[in-house]
C-alpha cells in the first residue's frame, strides 16, 4: 500500500447539506447531502485513481469520552436536520456499492477514527491523504501525512502549508486550538486569545505546557498572564481537541482496498434517487430487466432495425406503408434549435418500438423531390402524427409548406402532465428513467472540441442511427405514457387543451412581434447616460472608483472604507446581493444607489442590448418560443427572448415596451387582461361570503378588504390602507407569514400579525380553504386545478421544515394559479376558433400570464373588443363574475 486516501465522510455530507438546497427525489425525500457526497467521492476517484480508500463517518452516540470530560462539549450545536440521517445511511449504502470500505465505530467521532487509521497506515509505510477541511486534523500532518481539499482544486496541505496557514507547526496545532477554542464544538479555549496571538505565544514558548510552566515566570508577557488565569480552561480544551488514537480499527491492508463497483445496484440506487446524470456517467448498457416494470421490459426487449431511405424505390415503399397507418411518429433533424431559423436535413419515422426509418433531404435524392413525396402523407388528416416536442417539428414542416392536420400525441407534454413538478422531460432523461437507456448524444454524433463537425457534415450512417433512435424511443415512450395518462384521468386535458393549444402557440410564434429598433436606440442612449450619472454618484459616495459589477470590490468598499457591517459571508467574501442591499437602504445611501444601478444595468444588458439580435432578418420581427412544459402550475413560459419578464412597474421597462409596436400603419395593439383572477378564484373555491359578495357587487377588492379588516366604511379607506390590504390579499395567496408582510409594508411583526389575524377573522372561509388545500395534498400527494391538472407535491411530508413549508404554499397556490393558467389557455383556443370562423385579419402575438395581446387592423377593432372580452369572461362559469380589462394602443406601453 503506497498511498491511502481517508475521506471525512461526515464532514462532506454536512457541507453538501448546507451548500445544495431543495433537492429531492420523486418521493419528496431530500437528496442534497447525498448528491454532494457522491459527486465528491466520484471526483476523488477520477482525479487520483486510488487503490486504497476509506470513508469515515461519525459513529452512533459519538463523543462519549469527551462528554464525560466536559458535559458542555458540542452543547451549542443545533439539532441534526431531520432529513440528514437517512441521507447518511444512503451514503453508507453508496460506499458498499462503490466498493469503498467505510467505518462508523460506535461512540467514536470521525476525527478520532481518521487519526487512528492515519497512524496505522503510517506504520505500514504508506503516504496518507486526509480528505477534509477540518483544522483539527492538521495535528496529524507530517512528512508522510497530508490534508487534501478536493473542493479547492485538490489543494494539498503539508507541514509547510500548515505553518503558513496557522503560524505554527503541525505538532503545535493541538496547543493552538486549546488556546483559541472552537465555537462549533463548544471548546472553551482562553478568552481574548485569537489565532494570531496564540501562534505568537507558541512560537515564543513552544507548547502550552511551557507557556504554563512556572519556570518561565520571569518572561513577563501580558497575554501569558491571561492564559495563566485560564490555565484550567486551556488544559481542558487541549484534552478535548487532542485526537483519541486508541480506537479499535481493522489492521489489514486488504480491508482498505478499493473494490470494483456493483454497476447494476448503483444504477438502481441512482434511479431511486433521480440522479439521472449519474446514471449517464456510468456508461452502462441496457439494465437487467428485473430492474424495470413488466410493461417496460416488454417494450425494451424488442430488437432494433433502423433503415436509411435514400433511393426512389425505398422512399416509395416507405410512403406507401406509412400511408396505411393510423398513427405515425416523426422527428425532424435540422441545423438549428430555433424552428424558424432551422434548415431541414431529414425526417425520421416510426410506427412501433424497434423499427425506424430516416429519410435525408440532403442525400442522393433532391430535397424538393423528397418533400413532394412526403407532403401527401404528412398532410393526410386520417393519420395521427406524434413526437417528442412535436410543436418544433410542426413549425419546421410549416416552413417548407407542409401542415400536419392531425397531431395525436406528444410524449413531452404527456411527461409534463404526469410529472409537472419535475424538470426532466427531455427524451434522453425519459429513456433513462423508463428504460434505463443511455441514448446516443449529440457529441457522439458530432464529436467534441476541435474535432467536432456541424450537423450537416455528420456521417450519414451515424445521423440515421441518431434520428431513428430518437423515433424508436418516442414510440416506446408513447406506449408507456399514454397508458399512464389514461390511468390518471388526464386524457381529456391532453386532447382538448394541451394538444390543440400547440397549434395556437405555433401560430403566435410564426407571427412574432415587431420591434422598433430606432426607438430602442433612443432608449439605449438615454439609459447609458443615466448609468453614467449613477456611476459617478456611487463613486462620489464611495470616495473612489471601483468596478460596480464586482461583488468582491463592492463588499470591500462597503466594509473596509464605509464601515458598513455586511451580515452574510460567502466563499468569495461578504454577500452584496439584492436582499442584503435592500436591508441596508436606510443604513447607507450606497445601498439604494447600487440597487438602482443594478436594476437599470440588467434592463440594458438583458433587453436593450440583446433584443435587436433576436430579430429575424427575413421577417424583421422577433419570434420567441412559448413552452407548455416548464412551469409546474400549467402557466406558459417564454424564451429566446423571454418577453414575459419585461417589467411594467419600472419606467425604463415601460419605455422598452414602447419600442414594441405594430409593423403596419393603421394597425393597433389590443391587450386583454383578467382582473385579479387569482383572488376571484380564491372567492370561488373558498366560497367565502364576504369575498363573493365583494366581487359580485363589483367592489374594489383591496378597498373592501381594508374596510373589512379595519372595521370602517368603504368610503373612509385611505390609499395607504388599501395598499396594506392589497399586500395582505396577495400575501395570503402565496402563504406569506407575518415576518414577510412586515418587511413588505415596513411595519413591525406584531402589526403585520394583527393584519393577518383580522383578515382570517373576517374571511374565515378562506382560512378553512387554505387548511383544506394542505390537508388534501397531505392525503393525496398532489394538488389539482379546476380542470383536473395535477401537480405532485411529495415534499409535503418532508422532514426538512423549509421544504415542507414550501410544499404547503404550493398546495394553496397551485389550484389558483393553475386554474388561471387553464382558463386563459381555454380562452386562447376559443378566440383562435372564432378568428378562423370570422376570417379576421388580426392575430394573437403574446401571452403574458393573465394577459393576451393581439395585433389588429384599426378597422377590425369594433369586432375584436367584444369578441375578446366576451370570450374570456365566459369561457368558464364560476360563482363570481370574471372581469377582463381591454386596452388599445399604438405600442405595448400604451396597453
Read out DSSP for 688-737? -HHHHHHHHTT--HHHHHHHHHHT--GGG--HHHHHHHHHHHHHHHTT--
Give the contacts of 548 (CB within 8 A, at least 6 positions apart). 535, 538, 554, 594, 597, 601
Per the domain annotation, does 653 fall within a domain? Answer: no
C-alpha 846/C-alpha 504 separation (Å) is: 11
Per the domain annotation, does 117 fall within a domain? Answer: yes
C-alpha 393/C-alpha 495 separation (Å) is: 19
Sheet strands side by side (includes 621-622)? 513-514, 621-622, 615-616
Facing residues of 157 across strands?
147
Q: Residues 447, 453, 454, 459: is their CA dihedral positive or negative? A: negative
Average pLDDT for runs of 10 along the chain of length 895: 93 91 87 95 92 94 81 78 92 95 92 94 93 90 91 86 88 86 80 83 82 67 76 82 89 93 89 87 50 52 87 96 97 94 96 96 94 97 98 97 97 97 90 86 83 87 94 97 97 97 97 97 96 96 92 88 81 79 89 94 94 95 96 94 91 95 97 96 95 92 90 91 90 84 86 90 93 96 96 91 90 95 98 95 96 98 97 96 97 95
12's grid cell: 462532506
What pLDDT digit, counting tens, does each position of 217-226 carry?
655 567 777 7
Sheet strands side by side (includes 843-848)? 843-848, 851-857, 667-674, 884-889
Looking at residue 217, its pLDDT comes to 60
Per the domain annotation, does 727 fall within a domain? Answer: yes
Q: Are residues 780 and 807 in the same domain?
A: yes
Per the domain annotation, does 669 fall within a domain? Answer: no
Facing residues of 6 across strands?
54, 130
Q: What is the CA radius of gyration of the chain?
A: 33
C-alpha 818/C-alpha 807 separation (Å) is: 15
Q: Is 6 helix (H, G, I), strand (E, B) or coil?
A: strand
> Cβ atoms within 10 A of the Cβ of 884, count?
20
Per the domain annotation, does 382 fall within a domain? Answer: yes
* Residue pair 686/765 in contact by the 8 Å Cβ criterion: yes
Residue found under cell 495535528 = 139
* Residue pair 640/821 in contact by the 8 Å Cβ criterion: no
Q: Are residues 577 and 486 in the same domain?
A: no
Q: Are residues 561 and 581 in the same domain?
A: yes
- Give φ, ψ of 855 to 5 degrees: -110, 120
CA 645 to chain centroid, in Å, comes to 18
Q: Are residues 478 and 616 in the same domain?
A: no
Q: Is 792 helix (H, G, I), strand (E, B) or coil?
A: strand
**How many structural domains comprise the chain?**
4
Query: Final residue of a domain: which of 489, 511, 533?
Result: 511
HEC string for 741-790: HHHHHCCCHHHHHHHHHHHHHHCHHHHHHHHHHHHHHHHHCEEECCCCCE
> Cβ atoms within 10 A of the Cβ of 458, count?
18
Helix 701-710 / helix 689-696 crossing angle, nearest 10 deg: 140
| Alpha helices (runs of H) in 419-493, residue ranges in sequence order | 427-435, 442-446, 460-487, 491-493
Q: Are residues 363 and 451 in the same domain?
A: yes
C-alpha 678/C-alpha 685 separation (Å) is: 10
Per the domain annotation, does 878 fall within a domain? Answer: no
C-alpha 398/C-alpha 623 separation (Å) is: 15
Looking at residue 66, its pLDDT comes to 82
C-alpha 80/C-alpha 85 separation (Å) is: 8
Listed residue (264, 284, 275, 301) closest to 438, CA to CA: 284
Q: Are residues 246 and 313 in the same domain?
A: no
Q: Are residues 724 and 800 in the same domain?
A: yes
Looking at residue 216, its pLDDT comes to 66
C-alpha 14/C-alpha 19 separation (Å) is: 9
Looking at residue 570, its pLDDT comes to 65
* Residue pair 12/37 in contact by the 8 Å Cβ criterion: yes
Per the domain annotation, does 890 fall within a domain? Answer: no
C-alpha 161/C-alpha 149 separation (Å) is: 12
Listed residue (370, 401, 406) closest to 386, CA to CA: 406
What secondary structure does DSSP assign to 590-605, as a single string?
HHHHHHHHHHHHHHII
Query: Final residue of a domain: which of 231, 256, 281?
Result: 256
Using left for φ > 0, alpha for ψ between -120 and 50, and beta otherwise, residue 82 falls in alpha
C-alpha 619/C-alpha 626 separation (Å) is: 18
HEC string for 23-46: CECCCCCECHHHHHHHHHHHHHHH
Q: Are residues 491 and 537 in the same domain?
A: no
Listed residue (249, 264, 292, 381) closest to 328, CA to CA: 381
895's grid cell: 396597453
- Give φ, ψ of 622 to 5 degrees: -95, 130
Query: Final residue of a domain: which of 793, 819, 845?
Result: 819
Q: What is the CATH number of the domain that holds 309?
A: 3.30.420.10
Q: Are residues 542 and 488 in the same domain?
A: no
Q: Are residues 447 and 525 in the same domain?
A: no
Burial of 746 from C-beta contacts in 10 A (0-12 / 13-18 / 19+): exposed
Q: Are residues 126 and 243 in the same domain?
A: yes
Per the domain annotation, does 668 fall within a domain? Answer: no
Q: Are residues 500 and 519 in the same domain?
A: no
392's grid cell: 418544433
Q: Is 513 helix (H, G, I), strand (E, B) or coil?
A: strand
pTM for the model: 0.82
Q: What is the CATH number of the domain that holds 574?
A: 1.20.1060.10
Q: What is the CATH number of the domain that holds 211?
A: 3.40.50.1010
Listed residue (284, 330, 280, 344) closest to 472, CA to CA: 330
Provide the residue range defining the domain that includes 579: 514-622
Amino acid at each position: 500500500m503506497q498511498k491511502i486516501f481517508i475521506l471525512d465522510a461526515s464532514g462532506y455530507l454536512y457541507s453538501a447539506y448546507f451548500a445544495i438546497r431543495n433537492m429531492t427525489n420523486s418521493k419528496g425525500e431530500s437528496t442534497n447531502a447525498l448528491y454532494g457526497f457522491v459527486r465528491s467521492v466520484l471526483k476523488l476517484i477520477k482525479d487520483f485513481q486510488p487503490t486504497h480508500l476509506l470513508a469515515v463517518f461519525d459513529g452512533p452516540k459519538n463523543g462519549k469520552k469527551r462528554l464525560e470530560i466536559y458535559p458542555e462539549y458540542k452543547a451549542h450545536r443545533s439539532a441534526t436536520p431531520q432529513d440528514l440521517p437517512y441521507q447518511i445511511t444512503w451514503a453508507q449504502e453508496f460506499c458498499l456499492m462503490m466498493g469503498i470500505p467505510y467505518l462508523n465505530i460506535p461512540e467514536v467521532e470521525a476525527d478520532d477514527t481518521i487519526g487512528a487509521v492515519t497512524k496505522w497506515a503510517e506504520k505500514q509505510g504508506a503516504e496518507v491523504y486526509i480528505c477534509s477541511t477540518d483544522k483539527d486534523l492538521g495535528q496529524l500532518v507530517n512528512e508522510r501525512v497530508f490534508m487534501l481539499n478536493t473542493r479547492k482544486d485538490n489543494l494539498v496541505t503539508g507541514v509547510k502549508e500548515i505553518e503558513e496557514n496557522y503560524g505554527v507547526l503541525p505538532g503545535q496545532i493541538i496547543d493552538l486550538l486549546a488556546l483559541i477554542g472552537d465555537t462549533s464544538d463548544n471548546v472553551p479555549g482562553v478568552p481574548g486569545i485569537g489565532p494570531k496571538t496564540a501562534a505568537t505565544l507558541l512560537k515564543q514558548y513552544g507548547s502550552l505546557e511551557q507557556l504554563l510552566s512556572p519556570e518561565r515566570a520571569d518572561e513577563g508577557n501580558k497575554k501569558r498572564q491571561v492564559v495563566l488565569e485560564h490555565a484550567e480552561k486551556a488544559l481542558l480544551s487541549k484534552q478535548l481537541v487532542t485526537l483519541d488514537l486508541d480506537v479499535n480499527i481493522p489492521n489489514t491492508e486488504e480491508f482498505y482496498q478499493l473494490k470494483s463497483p456493483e454497476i447494476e445496484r448503483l444504477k438502481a440506487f441512482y434511479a431511486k434517487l433521480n440522479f439521472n446524470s449519474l446514471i449517464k456517467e456510468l456508461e452502462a448498457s441496457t439494465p437487467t430487466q428485473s430492474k424495470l416494470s413488466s410493461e417496460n421490459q416488454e417494450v425494451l426487449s424488442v430488437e432494433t432495425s433502423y433503415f436509411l431511405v435514400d433511393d426512389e424505390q425505398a422512399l416509395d415503399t416507405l410512403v406507401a406503408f406509412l400511408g396505411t397507418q393510423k398513427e405515425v411518429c416523426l422527428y425532424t433533424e435540422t441545423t438549428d434549435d430555433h424552428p424558424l431559423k432551422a434548415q431541414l436535413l431529414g425526417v425520421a419515422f416510426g410506427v412501433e418500438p424497434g423499427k425506424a426509418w430516416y429519410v435525408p433531404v440532403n442525400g442522393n435524392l433532391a430535397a424538393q423531390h423528397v418533400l413532394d413525396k412526403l407532403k401527401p402523407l404528412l398532410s393526410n388528416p386520417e393519420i395521427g402524427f406524434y413526437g417528442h416536442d412535436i410543436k418544433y417539428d410542426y413549425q419546421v414542416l410549416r416552413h417548407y409548406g407542409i401542415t400536419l392536420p392531425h397531431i395525436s400525441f406528444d410524449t413531452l407534454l404527456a411527461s409534463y402532465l404526469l410529472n409537472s413538478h419535475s424538470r426532466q422531460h427531455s427524451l434522453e432523461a425519459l429513456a433513462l428513467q423508463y428504460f434505463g437507456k443511455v441514448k446516443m448524444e449529440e457529441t457522439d454524433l458530432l464529436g467534441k472540441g476541435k474535432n467536432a463537425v456541424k450537423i450537416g457534415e455528420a456521417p450519414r450512417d451515424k445521423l440515421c442511427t441518431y434520428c431513428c433512435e430518437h423515433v424508436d424511443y418516442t414510440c416506446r415512450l408513447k406506449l408507456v405514457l399514454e397508458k399512464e395518462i389514461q390511468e390518471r384521468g388526464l386524457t381529456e386535458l391532453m386532447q382538448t387543451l394541451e394538444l390543440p393549444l400547440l397549434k395556437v402557440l405555433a401560430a403566435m410564434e410564426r407571427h412574432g412581434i415587431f420591434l422598433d429598433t430606432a426607438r430602442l436606440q433612443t432608449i439605449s442612449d438615454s439609459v447609458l447616460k443615466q448609468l453614467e450619472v449613477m456611476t459617478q454618484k456611487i463613486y462620489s459616495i464611495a470616495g473612489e472608483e471601483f468596478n460596480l459589477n464586482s461583488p468582491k470590490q463592492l463588499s470591500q468598499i462597503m466594509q473596509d472604507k464605509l464601515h458598513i457591517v455586511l451580515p452574510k459571508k460567502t466563499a468569495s467574501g461578504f454577500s452584496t446581493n439584492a436582499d442584503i442591499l435592500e436591508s441596508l437602504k436606510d443604513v447607507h445611501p450606497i445601498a439604494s444607489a447600487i440597487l438602482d444601478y443594478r436594476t437599470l444595468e440588467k434592463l440594458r444588458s438583458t433587453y436593450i442590448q440583446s433584443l435587436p439580435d433576436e430579430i429575424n432578418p427575413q421577417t424583421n420581427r422577433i419570434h420567441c418560443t412559448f413552452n407548455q412544459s416548464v412551469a409546474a402550475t400549467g402557466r406558459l413560459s417564454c424564451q429566446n427572448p423571454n418577453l414575459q419578464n419585461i417589467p411594467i412597474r419600472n419606467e425604463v421597462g415601460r419605455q422598452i415596451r414602447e419600442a414594441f409596436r405594430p409593423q403596419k400603419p393603421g394597425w393597433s395593439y389590443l391587450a386583454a387582461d383578467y382582473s385579479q383572477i387569482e383572488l376571484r378564484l380564491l372567492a370561488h373555491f373558498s366560497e367565502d361570503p364576504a369575498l363573493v359578495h365583494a366581487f359580485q357587487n363589483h367592489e374594489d377588492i383591496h378597498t373592501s378588504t381594508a374596510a373589512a379588516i379595519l372595521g370602517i366604511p368603504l368610503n373612509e379607506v385611505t390609499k395607504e390602507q388599501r395598499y396594506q390590504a392589497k399586500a395582505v390579499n396577495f400575501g395570503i395567496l402565496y402563504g406569506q407569514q407575518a415576518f414577510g408582510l412586515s418587511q413588505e409594508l415596513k411595519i413591525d411583526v406584531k402589526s403585520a400579525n394583527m393584519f393577518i389575524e383580522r383578515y382570517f377573522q373576517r374571511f374565515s372561509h378562506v382560512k378553512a380553504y387554505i387548511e383544506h388545500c394542505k390537508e388534501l395534498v397531505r392525503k393525496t400527494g398532489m394538488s389539482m386545478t379546476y380542470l383536473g391538472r395535477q401537480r405532485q407535491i411529495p415534499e409535503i411530508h418532508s422532514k426538512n421544515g423549509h421544504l415542507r413549508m414550501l410544499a404547503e404554499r404550493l398546495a394553496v397556490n397551485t389550484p389558483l394559479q393553475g386554474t388561471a393558467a387553464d382558463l386563459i389557455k381555454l380562452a386562447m383556443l376559443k378566440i383562435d376558433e372564432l378568428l378562423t370562423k370570422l376570417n379576421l385579419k388580426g392575430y394573437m402575438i403574446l401571452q403574458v400570464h393573465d394577459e393576451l395581446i393581439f395585433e389588429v387592423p384599426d378597422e377590425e377593432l369594433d369586432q375584436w373588443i367584444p369578441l375578446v372580452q366576451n370570450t374570456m369572461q365566459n369561457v368558464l362559469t364560476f360563482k363570481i363574475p370574471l372581469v377582463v380589462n381591454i386596452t388599445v394602443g399604438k405600442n405595448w406601453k400604451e396597453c
